[in-house]
Structure 1
Amino acid sequence: MPTTPQADEATLRRDLAAAYRLAARFGWDDTLYTHFSARLPGGRKGQQRFLLNPFGLLFKEVRASDLIVVDLDGKVVQGGAAMNPAGFTIHSAVHTARDDAHCVIHTHTVPGMAVAACEQGLLQLNQISAEFHQSVGVHPYEGVAFNLEERSRIQAALADNMALILRHHGLLSVGPTVADAFCVMYYLNKACEIQLAAAQLASIAGPVTRIPPVLSAHVRKQFRGVEHERQLVWAAWLRELDRSEPDYRL
Structure 2
Amino acid sequence: MLATAGTRDASAPMRERVSAEEWAARVELAALYRMVHHFGMTDLIANHITMRVPGEPDHILINAYGLMYDEVTASNLYKITLDGDVVLRPDVDLGLNITGYVIHGAIHQARPDLHVVIHTHSAAGTGVSGMKCGLLPVSQHAALIDGRIGYHDYEGAAFNLDERERFVASLGSGNLMILRNHGLIACGQSCAEAFIGIYRLEMACKMQVAALAGGIDNALMMPPEALENTRRILIDHPEIGAGTLQWRALLRRMERIDPSWKE
TM-score by length of 2: 0.87
| Distance in structure 1 (CA, Å) of the matches to 2:21 and 2:225 | 41
Shift of 1:212: 2.5
Shift of 1:215: 2.7
| Distance in structure 1 (CA, Å) of the matches to 2:218 and 2:137 | 14
Corresponding position of 1:4? none
Q: Tell me, yes or no, if the aligned pair for 1:124 and 1:133 is still in contact at 8 Å.
A: no
Shift of 1:176: 0.2
Query: Letter of the aligned partner of 1:194 in structure 2?
Result: M
| Aligned mate of 1:207, from 195, 214, 218 | 218
Q: Which one is further off, 167-176 or 88-97?
A: 88-97
Query: Letter of the aligned partner of 1:9 in structure 2?
Result: E
Shift of 1:68: 0.7
Q: Tell me, yes or no, if the aligned pair for 2:25 and 2:54 is still in contact at 8 Å.
A: no
Q: What secondary structure sits across from 1:228 in the alignment? A: helix
Q: Tell me, yes or no, if the aligned pair for 2:49 and 2:62 is still in contact at 8 Å.
A: yes
Corresponding position of 1:68? 78
| Distance in structure 1 (CA, Å) of the matches to 2:256 and 2:238 | 26
Equivalent pairs: percent with the same residue?
38
| Distance in structure 1 (CA, Å) of the matches to 2:151 and 2:259 | 37
| Aligned mate of 2:38, from 25, 30, 35 | 25
Could you give the per-residue CA deviations for residues 36-61 of structure 1, whole angstroms, max 9, x where no partner exists?
000012236xxx10000111111011
Query: Letter of the aligned partner of 1:84 in structure 2?
Result: N
| Distance in structure 2 (CA, Å) of the matches to 1:118 and 1:161 | 21
Cα RMSD for the two superposed structures: 1.6
| Distance in structure 2 (CA, Å) of the matches to 1:152 and 1:77 | 24
| Aligned mate of 2:248, from 235, 241, 246 | 235
Could you give the per-residue CA deviations for residues 137-173 of structure 1, whole angstroms, max 9, x where no partner exists?
0000000011111010111110111200000100001
Q: Structure 1: where are the runs of 5+ without partners? A: 1-6
Q: Tell me, yes or no, if the aligned pair for 1:76 and 1:82 is still in contact at 8 Å.
A: no
Residues matched between the structures, number = 239
Query: Letter of the aligned partner of 1:93 in structure 2?
Result: A
| Distance in structure 2 (CA, Å) of the matches to 1:61 and 1:133 | 33
Corresponding position of 1:51? 61
Q: Structure 2: where are the runs of 5+ without partners? A: 1-19
1:98 is the counterpart of 2:108: no
Superposed structure 1 runs of 4+ greater than 3 Å apart: 224-227
| Distance in structure 2 (CA, Å) of the matches to 1:210 and 1:88 | 37
TM-score by length of 1: 0.91
Corresponding position of 2:191? 178
